[in-house]
Chain A
């Protein structure tokens, strides 16, 4: 997440740089101390932006979005509050509920816990990018058919989690679905149907047990 690339091909994250610096400190201390210090200073300088708003460019659902954001603005806030992309929901704003899930470079992330400036240069996919009414993705379609939603506020997050799961495990087991959705919360209680929808989207059958019995037929 903290990778930063510069145009000259030098690519090192601050954390990785410091780690390298730490392990090789004994050598550096004698021979390369000045060079290392210079690199460290450069790396740090590259990272310092703000606190005022800075221009950023995001690649979201295949489109380029240019924004002016303070460095402390999260990816979630940037999209929800500064663009019309409000499909991703803010629910807890502290990485416990999964409603803000997005795919960033094909990896599932909580967008409430990633800064917008960190997301530059990455391929960002929100729920709007998976499909739209009339052209839904397989996962979205299965959610509708199985009624894997009620109020619908957690739904975009679950759709993203299941989508990410199926990319990794096209034929998941029930346990894998439960595990993949363990970072998402729903208050209406749609879970059994989410499980069904995920398995249905993967072409694995799972039918919940319900019966309708005419009152007159009950002894």
Chain B
């Protein structure tokens, strides 16, 4: 089995990203920036009803708006019309039609001009209302609340009787919106030769396949390009309805069409993290080992996807009891449909809510039993992959954080502003496989590495250059890295933290094979470093092209991580200030420490938003999402960011493991436990807004003197 070289100049160094200069100067061209000749602006008309039957759609007035070149129906609407079936809109924001024109202003006018008649139908937008038997149904032939998925192990009721202590709790998490700063969208050109799509995507191959299937085009006639993209977080894998509409508009207008969603569109229709309503009962024996666990959860994934299978994608089911070993468990989970946009995978699907529920009740039980929360975790985190790593991380982290000195009896912090500390752990796979790549070595000594992966901002392009530089004995600046094009050797989508463990072994293999081929063909025994140029010159006229692929043994999976948080809570205003987060994370062989640390920072900061600020708010009286913008859907800002200290476990022997997702898993739970430690009462719903903090303190009612 191949192994990574042991001595490197660049692999595992702190290296600035090679595309940084393009990004800081505005020179990087994102899919929303490309301007192919004759391109048109495109927009999508969306349902303004939470539930309605469309009885008449007249697109003609839109075509009469000056500058408008094409108007099409959304694919699902067109299909239903063709079949003669009802065209029913099931949420505010569902796609009806698309327009393309010479300016955004023309499109705005055209959207207003489309004439629609509709019969409004009863709707339900909130989980707690939707699960009632007499609630309006999202789908007429299916109850909103799905049949729960159930599993159990051991005699749970008997086991609770054997426990020395039992606690119960009800923990809820909100629907969270991805909100990548570049919205979802594509610029699509459909000509006689086929379709070229500049996509803001995490998976050029999945966009390629989606377009080919939806447009009924041979795969060979579809090309997808994504050189840069402005964030995805799990929501950008396919072409999307907006991508199909852009393609149809391009075909009709005989011109390239760009549809980037508006910020509002993005919040309504292209993914979110499902909510959860977790009723948990947990018991431990006298010696502090967990013994019985009862879990009853429901949540919504919007109008459709509400599968109750555990562990990922866009489903509502959580991992329970997450990373802890409990011999007797009963788990029951159901999805509930509401009239709102569907869920999609979201950074570490199912894990942050699982972590919040489980880590909260772990602390509640530790407090009840008078046990130290860190020791209680070490005692019970004994089976889930990564547990040995986490145990060491807890010990090391507690020492660095000053846990023993900082952890006080809950609620014992004096004064109005109370201080508290908390911790939580995470487990994640982070493995990947199946990438191909190629190296083209030119006679002038220049080198191109090509791979059909994409860089989400994680630094893919940069570590490809670092690996090639080390193998060839060159500098990273001497390597030209080309990614984000389906004409390059195929890789997979960037999900599940799988990109680096999938791509980096293929790059190593490709570069090693290329070096060997160069040396063989030119007769130069060692072509690296100083000998490089002379060796390449001997190639003659044609460049040397070598392909390589992913190899077993260079990457693995199952990361462990723990986080500690320290907070101040103002008991008069309900305001939470996170003072410090300590991250102890394993990531196997770290390819680039600088970009790795950036990702860990990012995970913590997104987790802070989940803990304190982010929540989709649905209005039960109008069926409308009330906060599809950044004024009222709050993201963490620079002013909120605490001191973040990172300790990376260096384990190169494990090979490369993805770390994009694990670092966002335990943050909200650690902060919630710190808040509970500060206040002496549990705030059992995320986000922990001032209102919820005050409610937990019994101060939410206005008192009038």
Contact = CB atoms under 8 A, between A and B. Distances in A.
Contact of B27 (A70, A132, A181, A195): A132
Interface in A164-219: 177-179, 181-182, 184-195, 208-215, 218-219
Contact of A96 (B105, B603, B630, B647): B630
Given A91-B181, A143-B20, A149-B20, A126 B26 contact: yes
A187 B181 contact: yes
Contacts of B645: 209-210
Given A140-B25, A152-B457, A211 B648 contact: yes
Interface stretch (B224-232, B292-300, B350-358, B500-508): B224-232
A128 B647 contact: no
A99 interface: yes
Interface in B376-430: 389, 392, 395-396
Contacts of B395: 218-219
B597 interface: yes
A140 B24 contact: yes
A136 B21 contact: yes
A134 interface: yes
A74 B356 CA distance: 43
Q: Counting chain A CB atoms within 10 Å of each CB, which of B29, B35, B604 scores highest?
A: B35
Contacts of A189: 598, 601-606, 636
Given A151-B180, A154-B181, A185 B639 contact: no
Contact of B24 (A136, A150, A182, A185): A136
A186 B646 CA distance: 20
11 contacts: A81-B104, A86-B30, A87-B27, A128-B25, A136-B24, A144-B20, A145-B16, A188-B602, A191-B638, A210-B646, A215-B649
Given A133-B25, A153-B230, A185 B181 contact: yes
B114 interface: no
Given A149-B24, A153-B231, 6 more contacts: A87-B25, A89-B30, A90-B260, A147-B598, A151-B229, A190-B602
| 7 A-B pairs with the lowest CB-CB distances in the bound complex, closest first | A87-B26, A189-B602, A153-B230, A151-B457, A189-B605, A152-B23, A150-B457
A153 B647 CA distance: 28
Interface string A110-127: 000000000000000011
Interface stretch (B129-137, B145-153, B538-546, B588-596): B588-596
Interface in B167-216: 179-183
A166 to B, nearest CB: 15
B233 interface: yes
A211 B647 contact: yes
A187 B180 contact: yes
A94 B629 contact: yes
Contact of A218 (B26, B35, B392): B392
B284 to A, nearest CB: 26
Interface string A5-31: 000000000000000000000000000
Given A91-B263, A152-B28, A209 B638 contact: no
Nearest to B645: A209
Contacts of B126: none
A97 interface: yes
A87 B593 CA distance: 28
Contacts of B590: 212
Contacts of A213: 396, 647-650
Interface of A: 70, 72-73, 77, 80-81, 84-94, 96-97, 99, 126-128, 130-134, 136, 140, 143-145, 147, 149-156, 159, 177-179, 181-182, 184-195, 208-215, 218-219
Contacts of A210: 593, 597, 645-648
B176 to A, nearest CB: 12
B643 interface: yes
Contacts of A178: 638-639
A179 B395 CA distance: 37
A130 B26 CA distance: 10
Q: Counting chain A CB atoms within 10 Å of each CB, which of B179, B230, B260 scores highest?
A: B230
Given A87-B26, A126-B26, A153 B641 contact: no
Contacts of B458: 150
B24 to A, nearest CB: 4
Contacts of A84: 35
A153 B181 contact: yes
B24 A155 contact: yes
Given A136-B21, A151-B229, A191 B641 contact: yes
A140 to B, nearest CB: 4
B464 to A, nearest CB: 16
A72 B106 CA distance: 11
B472 interface: no
B608 to A, nearest CB: 9
A152 B228 contact: yes
A81 B396 CA distance: 53
A184 B638 contact: yes
A127 B25 contact: yes
A150 B25 contact: no
A215 B560 CA distance: 12
A84 to B, nearest CB: 7
A218 B599 CA distance: 23
A134 B182 CA distance: 26
Nearest to A182: B639
A133 B28 CA distance: 10
Contacts of B23: 149, 152, 155
Nearest to A197: B24
Nearest to A219: B395
Given A150-B457, A191-B638, A212 B648 contact: yes
B601 A215 contact: no
B33 interface: yes
Contact of A179 (B183, B396, B639): B639
B181 to A, nearest CB: 4
Contacts of B260: 90
B499 to A, nearest CB: 13
A72 B260 CA distance: 20
Nearest to A96: B630
Given A86-B29, A189-B601, A193-B601, A218 B396 contact: yes
A132 B21 CA distance: 7
B699 to A, nearest CB: 28
B277 interface: no
Contacts of A131: 25
A93 B264 CA distance: 10
A188 B181 CA distance: 9
B84 interface: no
Contacts of B25: 87, 127-128, 130-133, 136, 140
